[in-house]
Amino acid sequence: MFKKFFNYLLDARDRQRINIALSKGSAMMHARNIDQRNPATWEFSGFSQNGEDGILDVLRKKLIKSNRYFIEIGSADGIENNSSWLVVAEKYNGLMIEGSRALVERARRMVVGFSIGVECHNMFVTKESVQALKTISFYQDPDVFSLDIDGNDYYIAEALFKCGFRPKIFVVEYNSVYGPERSITIEYKPDFLFTREHSSHLYYGVSIMGWRNFFDRHGYRFVTVDRNGVNGFFVDPQYFDLGFLDQVQALEFADNQAQYKKFRMPHDEQFKLIADQKFVSI
């Protein structure tokens, strides 16, 4: 009885969050003055934490061929992530993958009804379990793939390509603490959780240069990072007009504003807090 009442309150709150996100996103989207060369002007935030909704909005509309399918690993409650705008506002189909069962249940109650082809799966993704993801996905070349798990992101991306995935647009979280020039990631642990690896919670993920080197090896083009220093955007150039890609003036690096606010120091000073941890060069 208590659980039902608690879920009722959660659902009421989540419905309100969805309405707010749609209103906010619509207002910000139409207020943009888009410069095709400047990704900072593309940004808006409806459901995304930063400007990812807007960057994806522009890139999706530039696709030469679309299947209107997405995959997001690290989709949280299905409301604050990089794919919910695609589902709720654009009626995309796809997969939301999340390691927390409670968050997946909330996403199923709230988000799935907006698009019949959306599935929410409770899965803690490791490089050993990526093959299972392939079996439930309708496409290996989704329009959008978002990866944000605060940990083994590099190793998961590597495993995805090895088993045949090749998204048209790939959104990946980077760790700005590592700076713009280091090409590094953490050591792989199947059960990695950044909250227990280091007291600062700064030891996780991949540097932006690490991602650029990784995607360059796979023939992708770097587009930009968002202004709040959280995600990098990469595209498979075969699905885009090269004239468009060539004119883009990328924002190549930005400090994570949430981390900067918390520690009150630039990324190079933050890195000193975790400099004794084990890193892998990319």
Q: Write out pLDDT tens, residues 167-222.
A: 999 999 999 999 999 999 999 998 888 888 898 999 999 999 999 999 999 999 99
Residue-wise pLDDT for 83-102, tens only, equals 999 999 999 999 999 999 99
CB 142 within 8 A of CB 83: no
Is the pLDDT reported for residue 113 higher than 90?
Answer: no
What CATH superfamily classification does 2-281 receive?
Vaccinia Virus protein VP39 (3.40.50.150)
First to last CA, the chain: 52
Model confidence, pTM: 0.95
Tell me how far apart the alpha carbons of residues 68 and 104 are, in angstroms, rounded to a whole number: 22
Q: In the chain, what are the domain boundaries?
A: 2-281
Dihedral over Cα of 207, 81, 91, 104: its sign = positive
What does the block give as tokens for 139?
Answer: 């496409």
